């Protein structure tokens, strides 16, 4: 079949049974987009190899046509290239968060939901959203009262759907909107406290009157009056929510409470006319009071769970000082635009990401990155939104504002982790979905069973009410998200940002960790230690040409060469035809000269004879130096040797990982001698050198095919395919944008010790989740039969139910003590 004219994003150059070559116009002269396409394609098992020549936009794909028919592959390419061809910032969105690129125009919307009363509400909203054909994924978190929805449903329609089901959807795109949410949560907490105080104050006299006063009509009237206020004012939300769910043919925890309280209250009304009737006014008001107490304690505990994310959000100030010449203007942070000059006084928080253009000060970035010591900032240095200025005055040009700042990105990442679900939660959700209806059936069976046995109506009703009240789907619903919330919040406080719940659970079961070398085991701050010149050019000219060729590269070694040239006051010359090959080298034209800078295997491929540099290269490599060879017009000219300090604690963390039973490897594009020298210093015994990005990817897949759980720790664009393919990708320090976007865990302050720390935190979090689930299942498995057997008073049942959810959250909060 001829597909040649069907697609807008590419033309088919050659087609064979298991091989396809296309020309994609959006890839021409764009190595970064080419790499993104390669990452996305190689994540599919049916695609065996991808070769891209960015200079001409050529993409050659080897694939298994039995697994992936050619027609499907072509549609896949059209969908991915549509995303990859977007403007630069949107290119990263093509990677998604472990989601399929075939979603096309699908996008993820994060927002808040008000009006949820328990975890069953969150489960109901989630199920309701998933029924919509325009929604591909939905996750709702009751504790944070937030949701994450992926699909093609417009935000306006999504919010209308939520509101139509009796809840309120609220935007939280900006940090300011998040702060307003926190204020609203505080008002809700105060309202809950007020309802509890009134319920307690009016409900307490009701049982006391039964004990100390003779059961007369005036006493019953007083009890009925007090109980009515408690039930229909303090407990009004239970009945509203139950009625709303009844209209929608669903049920939740409020349904059980409303049924129990309503039955007790209604059964007691005849006592106003017949004193011989049994009275349950104290049970009705007591149930409301106990449940409100439990929910208030739950709100307090939720506030503690959210403390870390709240502190992160509150790092952004409310206002900023804008400089217009010599005039200072106070403006809301929402009004800052890129390019604005901001005045940062001593002790103020920095309101946007930016570049210092004037001034000198110590800036504390710990609130954002988790890094300990403040650092000096002066002209040319970057500063982060939410950092705290020291005693100096800074003039900062805004480079990112609003949702594009690092702080907003980190908050968004924590949101994603806290709304995402762990695999262990799937079974719990299936049980929770049928739990409330099952409890209602069991209560009916209990009522009928006791009547059939010959017991009085009042006794049968009391036992049925106890069954309704003792059950607690909330404890089941909170077991996983409560621990996940605390775990991810605790991680964020330490500068470890976990992208999703799956990564959190997977990290607890890792067996192998693969480390890159430069910028991962080492600090990524290389300096030139040696320069060997074997050409007729003088050293300064060679350095100037090399720096001019490397000026457009983001690689650590390239930046070191540029800084070396700046240190010698050498001008950077204009270059053209720049092309970067990850983990290999760069090619560029400077003036009339073609410049090649790269490692030995790459220059050998270009037929450059490096014999004159070989002996010195071998000696320097044995000392652990990283080497870059320079060729001009296909002639070998020089050798640059770099020294890069090993990160503090690297040896200790490798030993710690070995003690945890985790195998470690170093896989690097550097030479074998240099790699072995560094690996020996930190205690890694397995080293794979001269590894291209494709080889790193193959090594990970080989381990995964053996059934191993593999993590990759890296920092650069060359690590992006491996980070994306690993079961858990960890980017470390100030990694490149693509490395961060393809990672599951971001260790933002660059402390390699956090690799082991994040795994320990994952293991502790998973252990607490299992404890929570054990308690929640055991509680319901034991309590419901006891209630059916008539061994529980409704008041005791309501108290036990109210405290069960609090106990789950309290157990989760133990993670904060670690």
User: What is the set of active-site residues?
Assistant: 516
Length of the chain in terms of residues written: 818
At residue 754, the 3 state secondary structure works out as helix
CA distance 81 to 11: 12
Answer for the pair 815, 763: CB distance below 8 angstroms, yes or no.
Answer: no
- In 146-215, which ranges are continuous DSSP H helix? 155-164, 175-203, 205-212
CA angle, 141 then 144 then 149, to 5°: 45
How far is residue 243 CA from its own chain's centroid? 36
CA distance 740 to 731: 6
CA distance 57 to 23: 5
The strand pairing partners of 47, in sequence order, are: 63
Answer for the pair 626, 642: CB distance below 8 angstroms, yes or no.
Answer: yes
The two tokens of residue 21 are 């070559």
Answer for the pair 168, 114: CB distance below 8 angstroms, yes or no.
Answer: yes
CA angle, 464 then 465 then 466, to 5°: 90
The two tokens of residue 407 are 């702080």
| DSSP 8-state class, residue 152 | S
The torsion angle over the Cα atoms of residues 402, 405, 409 and 411, rounded to 10 degrees, is -70
CA distance 420 to 427: 15
Please name the residues in contact with 430: beta carbons below 8 A apart, sequence gap of 6 or more: none
CA distance 601 to 366: 41
Please name the residues in contact with 551: beta carbons below 8 A apart, sequence gap of 6 or more: 558, 562, 572, 575
CA distance 386 to 63: 47
Greatest Cα-to-Cα distance within the chain, rounded to the nearest angstrom: 116
CA distance 588 to 596: 7
CA distance 139 to 564: 50
Answer for the pair 747, 732: CB distance below 8 angstroms, yes or no.
Answer: yes
Parallel/antiparallel/unpaired status of strands 635-643 and 527-533:
antiparallel
Residue 715, φ and ψ in degrees, nearest 5: -145, -15
| DSSP 8-state class, residue 646 | B
Exposure on the CB side of residue 611, measured as CA atoms within 13 A: 2
Burial of 647 (0-12, 13-18, 19+ CB in 10 A): buried
How far is residue 799 CA from its own chain's centroid? 36
Q: Scanning the structure block, which residue is given the tokens 């997977």?
A: 506
- In 735-752, which ranges are continuous DSSP H helix? 737-741
């Amino acid at each position: 079949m001829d597909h040649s004219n069907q697609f807008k994003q590419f033309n088919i150059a050659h087609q064979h049974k298991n091989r396809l070559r296309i020309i994609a116009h959006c890839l021409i002269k764009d190595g970064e987009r080419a790499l993104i396409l390669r990452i996305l394609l190689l994540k599919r098992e049916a695609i065996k190899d991808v070769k891209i020549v960015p200079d001409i936009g050529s993409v050659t794909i080897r694939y298994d046509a039995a697994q992936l028919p050619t027609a499907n592959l072509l549609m896949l390419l059209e969908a991915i290239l549509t995303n990859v061809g977007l403007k630069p910032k949107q290119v990263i969105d093509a990677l998604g968060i472990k989601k399929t690129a075939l979603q096309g125009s699908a996008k993820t919307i994060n927002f808040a939901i008000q009006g949820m009363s328990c975890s069953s509400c969150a489960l109901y909203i989630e199920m309701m959203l998933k029924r919509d054909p325009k929604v591909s994924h939905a996750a709702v978190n009751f504790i944070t009262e937030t949701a994450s929805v992926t699909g093609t449903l417009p935000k306006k329609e999504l919010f209308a759907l939520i509101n139509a089901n009796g809840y309120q959807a609220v935007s939280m795109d900006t940090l300011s909107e998040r702060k307003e949410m926190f204020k609203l949560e505080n008002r809700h907490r105060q309202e809950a406290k007020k309802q509890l105080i009134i319920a307690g104050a009016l409900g307490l006299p009701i049982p006391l009157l039964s004990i100390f006063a003779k059961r007369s009509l005036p006493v019953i009237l007083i009890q009925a009056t007090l109980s009515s206020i408690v039930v229909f004012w303090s407990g009004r939300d239970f009945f509203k929510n139950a009625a709303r769910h009844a209209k929608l043919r669903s049920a939740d925890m409020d349904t059980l409470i409303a049924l129990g309280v309503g039955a007790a209250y209604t059964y007691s009304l005849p006592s106003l006319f017949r004193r011989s009737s049994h009275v349950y006014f104290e049970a009705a008001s007591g149930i409301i009071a106990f449940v409100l107490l439990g929910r208030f304690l739950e709100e307090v505990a939720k506030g503690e769970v959210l403390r870390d994310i709240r502190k992160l959000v509150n790092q952004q100030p409310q206002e900023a000082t804008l400089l217009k010449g010599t005039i200072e203007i106070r403006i809301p942070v929402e009004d800052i635009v890129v390019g604005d000059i901001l005045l940062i006084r001593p002790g103020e928080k920095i309101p946007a990401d930016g570049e210092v253009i004037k001034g000198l000060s110590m800036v504390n970035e710990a609130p954002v990155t988790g890094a300990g010591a403040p650092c000096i900032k002066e002209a040319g240095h970057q500063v982060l939104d939410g950092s705290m200025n020291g005693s100096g005055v800074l003039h900062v040009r805004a480079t990112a504002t609003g949702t594009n700042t690092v702080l907003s990105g980190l908050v968004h990442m924590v949101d994603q982790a806290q709304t995402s679900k762990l695999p262990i939660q799937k079974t719990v959700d299936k049980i929770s979905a049928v739990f409330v209806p099952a409890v209602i059936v069991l209560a009916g069976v209990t009522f009928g069973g006791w009547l059939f046995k010959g017991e009085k109506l009042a006794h049968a009703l009391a036992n049925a009410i106890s069954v309704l009240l003792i059950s607690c789907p909330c404890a089941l619903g909170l077991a996983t998200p409560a621990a996940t919330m605390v775990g991810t919040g605790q991680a964020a406080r330490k500068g470890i940002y976990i992208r999703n719940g799956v990564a959190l659970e997977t990290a607890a079961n890792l067996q192998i960790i693969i480390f890159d070398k430069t910028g991962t085991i080492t600090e990524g701050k290389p300096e030139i230690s040696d320069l060997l010149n074997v050409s007729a050019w003088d050293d300064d000219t060679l350095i100037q040409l090399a720096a001019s060729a490397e000026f457009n590269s983001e690689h650590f070694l390239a930046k070191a060469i540029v800084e070396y040239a700046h240190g010698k006051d050498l001008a950077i010359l204009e270059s053209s035809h720049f092309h970067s090959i990850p983990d290999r080298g760069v090619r560029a034209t400077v003036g009339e000269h073609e410049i090649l800078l790269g490692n030995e295997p790459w220059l050998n491929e270009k037929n450059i004879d490096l014999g004159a540099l070989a002996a010195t290269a071998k000696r320097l490599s044995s000392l652990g130096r990283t080497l870059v060879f320079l060729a001009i017009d296909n002639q070998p000219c020089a050798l640059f040797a770099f020294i890069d300090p090993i990160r503090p604690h690297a040896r200790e963390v490798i030993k710690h990982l070995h003690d945890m039973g985790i195998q470690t490897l170093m896989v690097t594009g550097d030479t074998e001698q240099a790699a072995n020298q560094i690996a020996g210093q930190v205690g890694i015994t397995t080293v794979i050198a001269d590894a291209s990005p494709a080889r790193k990817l193959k090594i990970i897949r080989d381990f995964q095919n053996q059934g191993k759980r593999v993590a990759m720790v890296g920092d650069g664009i060359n690590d992006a395919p491996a980070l994306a393919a690993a079961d858990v990708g960890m980017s470390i320090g100030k990694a490149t944008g693509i490395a961060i976007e393809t990672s599951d865990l971001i260790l933002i302050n660059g402390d390699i010790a956090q690799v082991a720390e994040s795994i320990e935190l994952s293991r502790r979090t998973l252990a607490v989740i299992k404890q929570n689930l054990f308690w929640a299942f055991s509680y319901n498995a034991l309590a419901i039969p006891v209630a059916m057997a008539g061994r529980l008073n409704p008041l005791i049942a309501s108290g036990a139910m109210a405290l069960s959810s609090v106990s789950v959250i309290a157990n989760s909060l133990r993670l904060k003590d670690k």
